[in-house]
Amino acid sequence: MGMSGSSGSNRGMMAEINVTPLVDVMLVLLIIFMISSSIETIQVQQEKQRIEKTSETANLNQKVPVNLPRTDAEPVNLSEEQKLVLSITPDVKFFVGETMILDCLSIAPAIKATVTGDSRRIWSVKDDAAFGPCLDQIVAKLGTNAKLQNDKELYLRADRSLPYGLTLKVMARIRSSGVGKFGLVSEAEGGNEGG
């Protein structure tokens, strides 16, 4: 018996590609991309809502016409934590947010010549005495503000045309009434509000 060649043991190479692992990997990648894109979409929507809320609060503060001094200070986001803002207009009207709480010229008409018109003069001791009743009412009205009593924090937006003495008197009187943290709001050099 002769040995014939190994005809049964020598098979040809398999010419098919096994695509099952490739399909598995592609499905896993597809699921990962779908999940990450939906998370990113949610984050973009939340950021858009936060920006809209911030601009609404910034617009709220802009409703009170105050010409702020310009500085290169880092901006403070007043809307981020719903901060309490006291604004003083050029005609010495006091606002909390956009609500007017006091018109000082109706209480202290003697300071009108110091703060308005072309005949402005330097803040004097006489003005301090005339401004006293106005300060008393501001402190009384702020004393009833629950947020101010809880936070002990206030931000002041004072028009740059107001006498420096008037702004200092307001700050000193409010601080002596128990406000622990006091900030001044200015306009950044680029035009955005800061503090």
User: Could you tell me if residue 49 is inside a domain?
Assistant: yes
In this predicted model, what pLDDT tens digit does every residue of 135-148 receive, in sequence order? 899 888 888 888 88
Clarify whether residues 162 and 110 are in a common domain.
yes
Give the containing element (helix H, strand E) for 191: none
Clarify whether residues 158 and 75 are in a common domain.
yes
Clarify whether residues 50 and 84 are in a common domain.
no
User: Could you tell me if residue 146 is inside a domain?
Assistant: yes
| Total number of domains constituting the chain | 2
* Tally of CB atoms within 10 A around 130: 18
CA 11 – CA 135 distance, rounded (Å)? 104
- Give the tokens for residue 101: 């709480």
* Tally of CB atoms within 10 A around 103: 15
User: Could you tell me if residue 10 is inside a domain?
Assistant: no
Contact 48, 144 (CB under 8 A): no
Kindly list the distances between the CA atom of residue 14 and the CA atoms of 6, 7, 11, 105, in Å, as whole numbers in the listed order. Answer: 19, 17, 9, 98
Clarify whether residues 123 and 190 are in a common domain.
yes
User: Could you tell me if residue 77 is inside a domain?
Assistant: yes
Clarify whether residues 156 and 120 are in a common domain.
yes
In this predicted model, what pLDDT tens digit does every residue of 99-158 receive, in sequence order? 888 888 888 888 887 777 655 677 777 778 888 888 899 888 888 888 888 888 888 888
pLDDT of residue 75: 59
From the list 94, 126, 132, 100, the residue with the least C-alpha distance to 113 is: 126
User: Could you tell me if residue 133 is inside a domain?
Assistant: yes
Clarify whether residues 47 and 113 are in a common domain.
no
pLDDT of residue 31: 94
Provide the residue range defining the domain that includes 89. 63-194
Instruction: Return the higher-pLDDT residue of 33 and 4.
Output: 33
In this predicted model, what pLDDT tens digit does every residue of 34-87 receive, in sequence order? 998 888 888 888 888 877 766 555 554 556 767 666 666 665 655 555 778 888
| Amino acid in the structure at residue 35 | I
Range 109-116 contact pairs with CB under 8 angstroms and sequence separation of 24 or more: 111/166, 114/163, 114/166, 115/90, 115/91, 115/162, 115/163, 115/166, 116/90, 116/91
